[in-house]
Amino acid sequence: MARMLVVLMLCTLGRVACADVQHTSKSIGALMGPDDTRDCTFFTLQGVSQTDPNVASEWFAIPRIHQGFKEITALLLAAKVSGIPINVTTNGQTVCGHAGIRSVVMP
């Protein structure tokens, strides 16, 4: 209960992002692996020009330290190759200069 109260207080004060943004049934646009300075996998979704209101970018990023990094990267590659649309939820944070993600789902 105390943890919930702290989260609600932080949301009220504007200190943390309180709402995830969901992009539903979108196809992968571009997909790029980590580069020599940023240890993230990057991707875009077709028809999405702003990933998250807290991040001014059309790119999403998944850091290698993300709990599901390998699985999400494999899912993105499968979605890109097959053309199957995915659902992406952002977390309101900037990761490697772009929108961080909470989850990727291939329905």
The CATH code of the domain that includes 67 is 2.40.50.110
pLDDT at 17 over 60: no
Is the CB of residue 88 less than 8 Å from the CB of residue 72?
no
pLDDT at 7 over 50: no
Inside any domain, residue 36: yes
Calculate mean pLDDT across residues 8-21: 55
pLDDT at 88 over 90: yes
User: CA-CA-CA-CA torsion for 11, 101, 50, 85, nearest 10 degrees?
Assistant: -130
Residues 54-87 pLDDT 10s: 999 999 999 999 999 999 999 999 999 999 999 9
Structure tokens at 81: 């190759």
Structure tokens at 75: 């899912």
Inside any domain, residue 99: yes
Q: What residue numbers bound the domain in which 61 lies?
A: 19-105
